[in-house]
Structure 1
Amino acid sequence: AAQNLYGPGVRMGNWNEDVYLEEERMRDFLDKREKGELLIQRNRRLKKNILRPMELSVTEDGFAHYGDKVILVNPDHPQGEEAGLFQEGDLSLCMSPDEVKAQISDELEVPCGVSAVRTTTPTGRNTFTILRDSTNSDAVDPVLRYGQNFCLGIPAGLECKMLYLSSDHRSLLKSSKKSWLQEVILTDEVSHLNCWQVTFLDPQLRLEYEGFPVKANEKLVIYHRHTNRALAAHRHLFLRTYFGKEVEVAAHTHLDSHRVEKPKNHWMLVTGNPRNKSTTMLDVPKPPSDDTRAVEQVMGINT
């Protein structure tokens, strides 16, 4: 019986064409690799740039200034009414490129998303610059003040341009991914939607502090000027990002029974540690007088 007539050595069909195609693909691959155009190479460049170490500004007078490089930190706080998983620790506001789009391009998509991440190490992802609002006529005063319009900018990956923290009223087509509240994004468009204001933490003292310099490294509330919604970190809502599982950030004012903003609306403009450039003021131990827990322990109060 005529069986096994065709072994692996027998060439059938368009074998010659297949060989040429394979050689062409290999040449194309080697050419792209040499020029650094392979997807994995572009991807590594984007990631390396976004995660590059940064140095924060050091404040000599204790206040936040225009031009300062800071990280925005939502300080650690206990779980509230949220059920289920809850992200603990100090969270910093970070740029979060779209998981799919970041895989196929070496440039950041615009608009770009934001998230809150459990890190306080300054990198290209979370180091923001405090910028003046373009309509601010008082361009002489270097200090950021309560109730004053300001912008937060971050360099856009490999491109030499700035992205601005922005927000707008939610709509059917535009809202935060998990809570369906007002979304916060990074955009390269300069407009009134990029304006924010710092509000003093204690509502009873807000009028008194209006126009006073904003203290760095202390809790405060950041309101979006156009929509009057406060920046919030939703520690119970998780997003899948290019860098893994992270926490949703939205613009929404969460008030307690006393009409006071909840800890998810609390932020700190964190500056650099003057003694160690690679760390922040969060790494500096508080003096005993500022550390309420230490005082309570000395007084014998259980915490």
Structure 2
Amino acid sequence: MAQNLYGPGVRMGNWNEDVYLEEERMRDFLEKREKGELLIQRNRRVKKNLLRPMELSVSKDGFVHYGDKVMLVNPDHPRGEEAGMFLEGDLCLCMSPDEVKAQLLDELEMPCGLSAVLTTVPMGRNTFTILSDSRSSDAVGQVLRYGQSFCLGIEAGLECKMLYLSSDHRTLLKSSKKSWLQEVILTDEASHLNCWQATFLDPQLRLEYEGFPVGANEKLVIYHRQTNRALAAHRHLSLRTYFGKEVEVAAHTHLDSHRVEKPKNHWMLVTGNPRDKSTTVLDLPKPPAEDTRAVEQAMGINT
């Protein structure tokens, strides 16, 4: 009499092929882990370099010098004519690599994008070095002056090389992602497109201040020398970046009815806090107003 020899423990089908495929996937995984090619390992390396703590230069004389490490901050300002979302607070210029390519490649792809972030903590992705347009080491330590041509460089943590803040005329194939204005990028090529110029904030006093030292932590306008467009932060245009939701940065001069640059074109070259090297001057407590005592006395408050 025939008996049923099959049961739940009997392997049927292509089980042998599945076992070999699983072993092959495990060997491939272990090999990539040893070489550091896993996606999570690349992700950790990128963030470790770009988010590493940095120390800003401390200005002893109140001015900005060639070779100083600073942050470019767009100061907080009220909403203008923008509709919809509007990001408030001090925004810092940061490098923003492509979300997908940063995880698939071991080095940053050029050109690299930029964005503005709501943070004032100095780190690898937002600490810029003020460089001479001639890349001469003799200029290190000299005071940066209004009207002078200078470059802004940032070290790419993956290869320890310098990237330069650059821009060029807008074309059909090259423009900012949301506003379609002139694009601002980071590139490793040294050229005349990397040159910028600091302009005094008040247009009526710009001729008088031409050649004067640029003050640290003071509002100014940064113009691109080649295209004569001002660096701008668009708080109402959000971008999805490798580090989350941030806002767009472009090169465009936004003028009001008096032909004066709007607050979105205002920037500050922020230096380090002399009391704490890990913070900036923006973290210092604001001094009380000079007329505080007179106001308190007028109100009958004992001081």
SS in structure 2 at match of 1:103: helix
Unaligned runs of 5+ in 1: none
Cα offsets for 1:56-114 (capped at 9, x unmatched): 00000000001100000000000000011100000000000111212322321110000
Q: C-alpha separation between the residues in 2 aligned to 1:32 and 1:265?
A: 46
* Alignment pair present for 1:253 and 2:253: yes
SS in structure 1 of the partner of residue 254 of structure 2: coil
Alignment of 1:211-250 (within 5 A): 211-250=211-250
Q: Which amino acid aligns with 1:230?
A: A
Q: 1:138 to 1:161 in 2, by over 3 A?
A: closer
Report the aligned-residue RMSD: 2.4
**1:141-191 Cα deviation digits (max 9, x unpaired):** 711110000000001131121110000000000000000000100000100
Give the TM-score of the pair, scaled to structure 1: 0.91
**Alignment correspondent of 1:36:** 36
Residue type of the partner of 2:116?
Answer: A
Identical counterparts, % of pairs = 82
Moved more, 133-142 or 119-128: 133-142
Match of 2:103 in 1: 103
Aligned residues: 294
Question: Which protein is bigger by CA-based radius of gyration?
Answer: 2
Match of 2:102, SS state, is helix
Residue number in structure 1 paired with 2:279: 279
Q: Which range moved further: 39-48 or 262-271? A: 39-48
Cα gap change, 1:162/1:17 in structure 2, threshold over 3 Å: closer, same or farther? Answer: same
The one-letter code matched in structure 1 to 2:121 is T
> Does the CA contact (< 8 Å) of 1:195 and 1:226 recur in 2?
yes
Instruction: Quickly say closer, same or farther: Cα 1:127–1:139, change in 2 above 3 A.
Output: closer
On the 8 A contact 2:121/2:280 being kept in 1, the answer is yes
Point out where structure 2 has 5 or more consecutive residues left out of the alignment: 299-303
TM-score, normalisation: structure 2: 0.91
SS in 2 for 1:264: helix
Map Cα deviations across residues 197-245 of structure 1 (whole Å, 9 max, x no partner): 0000000000011111100100000000000000000000000100111
The residue type equivalent to 1:71 in the other structure is M
| Aligned equivalent of 2:10 | 9
Distance in 1 between residues matched to 2:270 and 2:19, nearest whole Å: 60
Shift of 1:287: 2.8
| Cα distance in structure 1, aligned partners of 2:167 and 2:214 | 22
Q: Counterparts of 1:134 and 1:145 in 2: how far apart (Å)?
A: 15
The 1:299/1:253 distance shift into structure 2, 3 A limit, reads farther
- Structure 1 position 9, deviation (Å): 2.9
Question: Is this contact kept in 1: 2:270–2:281, CA < 8 A?
Answer: yes
Which digits, 9 at most, give the CA deviation of each residue in 1:2-49, with x for residues without a partner?
x9x785633323x33332222121022112213322111011111111
Measured after TM superposition, the shift of residue 136 of structure 1 is 7.6
Q: Would you say the 8 A contact 1:107–1:157 is kept in 2?
A: no
